[in-house]
Structure 1
Amino acid sequence: MQGKTASSFDPDRPLSIFAYAYTSAVGVAILMFGPLVIGAYVDINGMTETQAGYLFSLEMAGYALSSALVFAIVTRVNWRHILLAGVFIAVLGNITSMYLHGYAELAGFRFLAGLGAGLLMNVTIVSIGLTANFDRNYGFWAVTQLIVGAAGLYLLPGRISVYGLAAPFLAVTILALLVLPLAKSFPEHGRDAGVTPNKHNRLLLGLAGLLGIFIYYGGQAAVWAYFERIGMAAGINPGSVGSILSASIVLAVFGASLATWLGDRLGRRLPVAASMICSAIGISCLWGVQSVYSYIIAACLFNAAWYFCLPYLSAIIANIDSNGRMLVGLAIVFPSSLATGPALATYVLNDVGYGPVLWIGLLSLPAGLIIMWKAAARNSA
């Protein structure tokens, strides 16, 4: 992104970098807890797996709508006001959901919770795009998300067994309220676009990058949404499944930290391609999984590769972007793919097994890589 900020605010202050990273972790928390939440919908609230999948996708649809709203207002509305609105909406949706149990009554409020969480995430994405070293800062952004996710996956299973879905919903509410004192650490506005060379080429590259990211991310989200159910179907006890998923998030922290350390030393194509190969191996380990060891390998490879790749995906768009609009497009793509992937997985799910879901995850890897290949060049713009 080019040009000067509308004020003297420094987006690279350490407290600001922390605020972006922590708030992004709040925005994505319910996704990180997704396997546990979907499992609780089925095991505690008595929903079918199809209902649970659609309810989760509905929350991601709220996420996607928030991105479309931010896309429309990002150049006209104070970003801190968007942030505060996100906190209020997320808290309202999650607190109300604590007292509801049925599919129909939860649907609207889970959509609302997703809308609030999406507003938080959008503000962090565009804010990091203003920083000088976005490759490194997107890595720190991902690491913080993973730390919060790992803590939740470790602590929540026991609480869910006692308190039901009130446990994850209350956890997200508390995390969201802690964003309030950080609001002044966010910029109020973006930067002026200035003169943009090769505008048409940038647009085409940006759109290709966004489409490739959408396909890849949606496929991985489809598999992640049913990771807990796959483990349960393999006969692994719920406590062990939660511990394994938590451990896999720790490995994902390593993956994201490695991306933070590497930055763009190897460019972006090689790290993205390598991560997708590891993802394919991890997903393949889930086919007919019958041992806890295969499940551990699958979970650890899957999450380490996914979160190693994530900072590079964000940096691909930031590298092309000249005025912030593409970054807002990225903020649309992430939640849209998170809504589409699990919904598609739910649609193809059958009584035979989770094979169709795994195929979605596998096929999304080469398809996404091919489409984003040109955009992922070091100096693509």
Structure 2
Amino acid sequence: MSAPAKPARRQMVQLQGDPSEGPPMSDPEVLRHDIDVNGWPAVLSAVVLGTIGVLSFIIQPGIVQAYVTQLKLDEAGAVGLAGIEMLGVALATIFMAAWGNRLNWRHVVIGGLVIAALGNFASIVAPQGPAFELARFVTGLGEGTITSISFTFVGLTIKAERNVALYLTLLLTYGAFGLWYLPQFVAAFGLAGMFGAFGVLTLLALATARFVPHGYDAEEMINPEARQLSRALLLVALAGVLSYNLAQGIAWAVLFLVGVGAGLGEQSVADALFLSQILAVGGALSSVFLAGHVSRNGAIAFGILMGAASIALLVGRPSLPLFTAGVCGFNVLWNFVLPFILGRVCDFDESGRMMSFAIAMQMIGLGGGPIIASHLLDGSGYRSAELLCIALFVASFVLLLMPMRRHRALSALRPSTT
């Protein structure tokens, strides 16, 4: 599972109180009581909210397997059910990208937490079928809302690199232990126990809402790496981001099934995924600390193509060492390369609007991937899903290569002044 990219544009931020409450925002007495987005209470609240927003997604491979064992769904049905939840996440993220800055952030976070909690509690009592699917979709809507705000929140801080590192540490540590312990937890408490735990944790996160700013005014500074590309190339770049994340969505949804289908025990698969999440912390942190020191285009080429090679290791019936190598390579490279991809895409447009569009493409891809995968699983294996995943990786690189080459040409004509 990957985290938000290091922001490509640094912003000077003035946080606001609720414009519907009391004196205008220019009132010094009001500004004295604003939330400091760079203070530890605010930073930790953003990190916690970011993790709460992906409670399900970060351990999605294990949840898909639990749907098979607990609900007795076939593999296609289990993957499709995960896709329904991610569809809710994607729709909420798209909405927030378009209209989020017009809304009161604190109210949005509270609403998202309540919606996600209600969806999880409803999942405990909903009968299997459309009602259960609706409960998971509603949960996704809440999760997507929380995730969008937390991504933006972390990106607004002055020490974004440090705060991204904190976010990744908590997120991937939870994912590692969650995937490792999930088979035992579900065997003991069932899906009801899992959804109940999600609901309780989500409600507890309401305590962080008081540290969320109501909104912000941003005075953007020039991004020295930005060069304006044509609208056609911007669309090509967004198609590359979408293709990359469709591949990730397909792979992440079926990884547990691939391991079990190869004859590996559930706990062995969980152990391999646990290791992949632990190593992914290193991949994510390396992207933070290497940014500015390595070629972004080179990092993108390496991350995407080696990610495709990692999935290729899983084709057929991989042994446990081969499966472990494949999932570890996939997860490490995912968390390593995505910040570079999103950062480079932001360099293609001088208006600074590409990040919101790229994040929307990311969530559409992660949500659409499981739905596509569900139509490729017919009980005969996972080769079709794996080959499509590899093809989408390669397609994403080809699509991103065109705007990257044009950006490099424009940069040669007008070198950065920094």
- TM-score calculated relative to the size of structure 1: 0.89
Q: Structure 2: state its 5+ residue gaps.
A: 1-8, 17-30
For the pair 1:233 / 2:233, whether they are aligned, the reply is: no
Amino acid at match of 2:373: A
In the TM superposition, what are the counterparts of 1:31-42 in structure 2 within 5 Å?
31-42=57-68
Partner SS, residue 322 of structure 2: helix
Amino acid at match of 2:14: T
Other-structure match for 2:132 = 106
Other-structure match for 2:47 = 21
Other-structure match for 2:193 = 167
Q: Distance in 2 between matches of 1:375 and 1:182?
A: 40
Q: Structure 1: state its 5+ residue gaps.
A: none
Bigger CA drift: 188-197 or 248-257? 188-197
Q: How far off its partner does 1:34 sit?
A: 1.0
2:14 to 1, 5, 23: 5
Q: How far off its partner does 1:132 sit?
A: 3.7
Cα 1:163–1:221 shift into 2, 3 Å = same
Q: Distance in 2 between matches of 1:299 and 1:73?
A: 36
| Equivalent pair of 1:17/1:128 in contact (CA under 8 Å) | yes
1:276 to 304, 307, 322: 304
| Equivalent pair of 2:305/2:394 in contact (CA under 8 Å) | no
Bigger CA drift: 290-299 or 265-274? 265-274
Q: Distance in 1 between matches of 2:369 and 2:146?
A: 21
Aligned sequence identity (%): 28
Q: How far off its partner does 1:194 sit?
A: 6.7
Q: How far off its partner does 1:229 sit?
A: 0.8
Bigger CA drift: 188-197 or 107-116? 188-197
For the pair 1:213 / 2:213, whether they are aligned, the reply is: no
In the TM superposition, what are the counterparts of 1:186-225 in structure 2 within 5 Å?
186-192=212-218, 201=229, 207-225=235-253
For the pair 1:64 / 2:90, whether they are aligned, the reply is: yes
Amino acid at match of 1:269: N
Cα 1:361–1:272 shift into 2, 3 Å = same
Cα 1:351–1:60 shift into 2, 3 Å = same
Amino acid at match of 1:39: Q
Bigger CA drift: 10-19 or 221-230? 10-19
Q: Distance in 2 between matches of 1:6 and 1:294?
A: 50
Cα RMSD between the aligned structures?
A: 2.9
Partner SS, residue 80 of structure 1: helix
For the pair 1:185 / 2:211, whether they are aligned, the reply is: yes
For the pair 1:93 / 2:119, whether they are aligned, the reply is: yes
Q: Distance in 2 between matches of 1:322 and 1:22?
A: 32
Q: How far off its partner does 1:83 sit?
A: 0.9
- Give a deviation string over 1:91-110, Cα, whole Å, max 9, x none: 00011112235132211000
Other-structure match for 2:370 = 342
| Equivalent pair of 2:243/2:365 in contact (CA under 8 Å) | yes
Other-structure match for 2:388 = 360
| Equivalent pair of 1:54/1:346 in contact (CA under 8 Å) | yes
Cα 1:133–1:268 shift into 2, 3 Å = farther
Cα 1:273–1:133 shift into 2, 3 Å = farther
Q: Distance in 1 between matches of 2:104 and 2:304?
A: 37
Q: How far off its partner does 1:51 sit?
A: 1.6
Bigger CA drift: 335-344 or 21-30? 21-30
Q: Distance in 1 between matches of 2:38 and 2:290?
A: 19
| Equivalent pair of 2:61/2:254 in contact (CA under 8 Å) | yes
Q: Distance in 2 between matches of 1:59 and 1:375?
A: 33
Cα 1:270–1:329 shift into 2, 3 Å = same
| Equivalent pair of 2:283/2:335 in contact (CA under 8 Å) | yes
Partner SS, residue 12 of structure 1: coil
Q: How far off its partner does 1:131 sit?
A: 3.0
| Equivalent pair of 2:246/2:368 in contact (CA under 8 Å) | yes
For the pair 1:293 / 2:302, whether they are aligned, the reply is: no
- TM-score calculated relative to the size of structure 2: 0.82
Amino acid at match of 1:210: L
Q: How far off its partner does 1:175 sit?
A: 3.0
1:312 to 340, 362, 365: 340
Other-structure match for 1:76 = 102
Q: Distance in 2 between matches of 1:318 and 1:184?
A: 31
1:119 to 126, 145, 170: 145
Partner SS, residue 217 of structure 2: coil
For the pair 1:333 / 2:361, whether they are aligned, the reply is: yes
Number of residues paired by the alignment? Answer: 381
Cα 1:4–1:38 shift into 2, 3 Å = closer
1:245 to 236, 260, 273: 273
Q: Distance in 2 between matches of 1:316 and 1:135?
A: 16
Other-structure match for 2:292 = 264
Cα 1:135–1:250 shift into 2, 3 Å = same
Q: How far off its partner does 1:87 sit?
A: 0.3
| Equivalent pair of 2:89/2:363 in contact (CA under 8 Å) | yes
Amino acid at match of 2:290: L
Q: Distance in 2 between matches of 1:348 and 1:303?
A: 22
- Give a deviation string over 1:243-297, Cα, whole Å, max 9, x none: 1111111111111121122223214222222222331221111011341111111
- Give a deviation string over 1:161-198, Cα, whole Å, max 9, x none: 12221233233223323322222333322435779999
Other-structure match for 2:179 = 153
Other-structure match for 1:144 = 170
Bigger CA drift: 96-105 or 187-196? 187-196
Partner SS, residue 156 of structure 2: coil
